[in-house]
Amino acid sequence: MSTETPVPTPASQPVLRAENLHRSLGEGESRVHVLRGINLQLKPAMTYSVAGPSGCGKSTMLYLLGLLDRQDKGQIWIRGELMSDASDAERTAARSRHIGFVFQFHFLLPEFSAAENVMLPMKKLGARSPEEMRSRAEYLLGLVGLGAKADRLATHLSGGEQQRVAIARSLANDPALLLADEPTGNLDVANSNMVFDLLQRLTRETGQAILMVTHNPELAERTDARLRMQDGQFVV
Ligand SMILES: Nc1ncnc2c1ncn2[C@@H]1O[C@H](COP(=O)(O)OP(=O)(O)OP(=O)(O)O)[C@@H](O)[C@H]1O
């Protein structure tokens, strides 16, 4: 698989396609059929929100789409490449290359600086020199308004700033798809709007698709397409 910066996904090709995904979790009598036939197409430069009651399977679906977990049945293509049956190594490579994650709890490494946190996914991919990684980290931190705080330890940043570092980190390898689970969930209104504005602007500028699980109706209202889940399926 190429480690070079990818060309944007052509408008005619979905960034991600999922067909009839099923997933059960738990063991024995407590096993639950969580996802019951998920069908989805995500197009470039589009923002999607997913809402639905607690326990309906939103996070489980994000894990499957992000290639962090395997479905029991169904198929997933990322930029036209069938990923659901690929080897673990191929899936890990595709994840590093094409997918960025933003979670409510950002999982920054506290003993690392903002720039070092942003460089981690680049190190994992191994396609850039240390100088290139550093300069890209500074560029991305500039995009999220933290250019002056590149060398601050993650723990010495505010909650909103840490979430913006996490967004910069999610963009490190220029992913075609951003998967976000309550990306603004722990932020106040001003920071939450700033983070959403940023995500939307990046989508427009880079052609990325964003799928965002959010309970916030005002943010969902601002996405291009609003999806609703219930009992492990999309409903209209
Ligand atoms: N490892 C597991 N073993 C058994 N059941 C699980 C496991 N993980 C999740 N579940 C169950 O699967 C269902 C879906 O969970 P999931 O976290 O995907 O829901 P969600 O829609 O993201 O909920 P929330 O909005 O509360 O975050 C829930 O009923 C949950 O209890």
Q: Tell me the CATH number at 46.
A: 3.40.50.300
The protein residue with its alpha carbon nearest to ligand 1, atom 28, reads 55
CA distances 150 to 111, 112, 138, 143, Å, are 13, 10, 7, 12
Measured CA to CA, the distance from residue 195 to residue 148 in angstroms comes to: 18
Supply the pLDDT for residue 6: 55
ipTM higher than 0.90?
Answer: yes
Supply the pLDDT for residue 232: 97
Measured CA to CA, the distance from residue 234 to residue 35 in angstroms comes to: 10
Supply the pLDDT for residue 3: 43
> How many structural domains is the chain composed of?
1
Look at residue 153 and tell me if it is in a domain: no
Look at residue 65 and tell me if it is in a domain: yes
Cβ count within 10 A of residue 132: 12
| Of 34, 22, 11, 65, residue with least CA distance to 212 | 65
Look at residue 152 and tell me if it is in a domain: no
Pocket of ligand 1 (CB under 6 A): 25-26, 32, 34, 52, 54-60
Supply the pLDDT for residue 2: 41
Supply the pLDDT for residue 4: 47
Whole-prediction pTM: 0.88
Ligand 1 mean position, distance from CA 53 (Å):
11
| Parent domain of 61 | 16-109+174-235
Q: Which residues of the chain have pLDDT under 50?
A: 1-4
Look at residue 194 and tell me if it is in a domain: yes
Atom of ligand 1 nearest to the CA of 30: 4
Look at residue 39 and tell me if it is in a domain: yes
Measured CA to CA, the distance from residue 116 to residue 113 in angstroms comes to: 5
145 contacts 65 by C-beta, under 8 angstroms: no
Look at residue 120 and tell me if it is in a domain: no
